[in-house]
Every structure is written in structure tokens, then in C-alpha cells.
């Protein structure tokens, strides 16, 4: 798995290679079936890692990361807000480099759900925490997908 507390560099390289190989096979099959333009693959983490070491690796932290790929995805973009400072005194930094997230996971799912055809009036039911965030923090389908 990806719950790595130590030896992150070597283990991460191997895991990312596995993901790359699996995705390449999946994309090839979806293209062969002429479905790739209708597919979005979303990967996200339920936690992040501390920016400082515990001596052998890193520990659980807040936030997370993720990515979206698909035939209709507008690639090459990054969403979210990078902290203004990674110093221990930074406004978004807690002890040992735990970063307080500013972009909710609902941001990505707002775009994906809309692209999948969830009606605007149903988004709050599908994403019950969506209204806890400003509309400006949510990603619109047209920002993430070429055909939205």
C-alpha cells in the first residue's frame, strides 16, 4: 500500500511505477473500446504526510493530494493553494510541517459529478459537505473537462 512511514523514496518510486503500468494498460483498453473520452479516473489521498522526518520517514498529516486523468480532462493543471510559507511559523503550518488544507476534496468531486451529469440541484445531496465551502473554492466541470 501507500501508508509509508519509512523508506519513502524507494517505495514510492516502485508504487508509482505500478500505477503507471496499470494506467497505461487501462487507457489502452479504453481507447480500444473507444470509451476513453467518456472516462475519468480520480485518485485521491485521505491524508497527507508531515514535511519533516520522524527520523526514518514521515507521519500522517492533514490534507492530501490527488489527480484526475481521462480522455476529456484538461491536462496540465494544478488546483488548490500552495502555502505561502513552509516555515514552522507559516500560517497554514502546524507542528512538524503538518499543512492545514485550503482546498476541499469536494472541489474536484464537484467538477466530476457535474461532468457525469449530476444536476445542479442534486449536487448538495451527492456532496453533502459542498456548502461548507465558498463557491470560488469549488472546481466547475468546464475548468476540468474539455467537453463540459
Instruction: Check residue 38 and report its DSSP letter.
Output: G
Q: Each residue's pLDDT tens digit in the chain (148 positions)?
A: 677 667 777 788 888 899 999 999 999 999 999 999 999 999 988 778 888 888 877 888 887 788 999 999 999 999 988 888 888 888 988 888 888 888 889 999 999 999 999 999 999 999 999 999 999 999 999 999 999 8
Map out the domains of the chain as residue ranges. 8-144
| Residue 26 C-beta-side C-alpha neighbours within 13 Å | 13
The CA distance from 40 to 37, in Å, is: 8
pTM of the model: 0.85
Cα dihedral value 115, 118, 120, 121, nearest 10: 180
Do the beta carbons of residue 85 and residue 93 sit within 8 Å?
yes
CA–CA dist 70, 134 (Å, integer): 27
Amino acid at each position: 500500500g501507500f501508508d509509508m512511514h519509512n523508506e519513502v523514496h524507494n517505495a514510492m518510486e516502485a508504487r508509482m511505477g505500478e500505477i503507471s503500468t496499470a494506467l497505461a494498460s487501462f487507457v489502452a483498453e479504453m481507447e480500444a473500446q473507444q470509451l476513453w473520452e467518456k472516462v475519468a479516473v480520480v485518485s485521491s489521498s485521505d491524508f497527507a504526510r508531515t514535511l519533516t522526518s520522524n527520523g526514518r520517514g514521515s507521519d500522517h498529516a492533514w490534507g492530501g493530494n490527488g489527480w484526475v486523468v481521462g480522455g476529456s480532462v484538461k491536462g496540465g493543471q494544478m488546483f488548490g493553494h500552495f502555502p505561502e510559507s513552509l516555515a514552522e511559523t507559516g500560517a497554514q503550518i502546524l507542528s512538524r510541517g503538518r499543512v492545514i488544507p485550503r482546498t476541499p476534496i469536494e472541489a474536484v468531486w464537484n467538477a466530476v459529478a457535474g461532468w457525469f451529469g449530476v444536476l445542479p440541484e442534486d449536487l448538495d445531496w451527492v456532496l453533502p459537505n459542498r456548502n461548507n465551502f465558498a463557491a470560488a473554492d469549488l472546481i466547475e466541470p468546464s475548468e476540468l473537462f474539455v467537453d463540459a
